[in-house]
């Protein structure tokens, strides 16, 4: 089951799982504050009563939709939960294109489910960041 959640009413373990997608997990509370903005939405995916994945999505009518965060509980990875969560959000909001910025560790995951690299930058601290884009012409699969 996938459900949208409010910033002020996050379910137990949400923060713990969310911090897994951050380079600096200790900053998760600060990062989560951005989701007070109305165009930024948070989602949880449950298996039974347990949260297995979380995501943050930016939906602004004047900007391209963007997946801001995606985290799957460590013991539940490689089982299709991330792909299913992304596909469900794309279908629910009828998204034609969806962008995501990520690091080298996750590029393969996004490519496998139908995203394509459209940009690559090197940050000031030497890390490479990739912008990928999903297009409705190339459905999420994998």
Q: What is the pLDDT of residue 52?
A: 96
Q: What is the pLDDT of residue 140?
A: 58
Q: What is the pLDDT of residue 138?
A: 62
Considering the chain, what percentage of its residues have pLDDT values greater than 90? 75
Q: What is the mean pLDDT of residues 11-31?
A: 88
Residues 6+ apart with CB under 8 A from 72: 17, 20, 52, 53, 81, 82
What is the Cα–Cα distance from 63 to 49, expressed in whole angstroms? 35
Mean predicted lDDT score pLDDT of the chain: 91
Q: What is the pLDDT of residue 67?
A: 97
What is the Cα–Cα distance from 14 to 117, expressed in whole angstroms? 29
pLDDT in tens, 60-84: 988 999 999 999 999 999 999 999 9
pLDDT in tens, 127-137: 899 999 998 76
């Amino acid at each position: 089951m996938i459900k949208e959640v409010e910033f002020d009413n996050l379910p137990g373990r949400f923060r713990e799982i969310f911090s897994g997608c951050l380079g600096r997990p200790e900053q998760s509370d600060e990062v989560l504050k951005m989701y007070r903005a109305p165009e930024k939405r948070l989602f949880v995916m449950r298996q039974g009563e347990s949260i297995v994945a979380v995501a943050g999505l930016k939906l602004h009518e004047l900007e391209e939709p963007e997946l801001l965060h995606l985290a799957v509980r460590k013991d539940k990875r490689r089982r299709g939960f991330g792909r299913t969560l992304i596909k469900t959000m794309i279908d629910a909001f009828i998204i034609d294109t969806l962008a995501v910025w990520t690091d080298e560790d996750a590029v393969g995951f996004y490519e496998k489910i139908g995203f394509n690299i459209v940009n690559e930058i090197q940050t000031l601290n030497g890390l490479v960041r990739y912008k990928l884009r999903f297009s409705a012409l190339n459905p999420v699969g994998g």
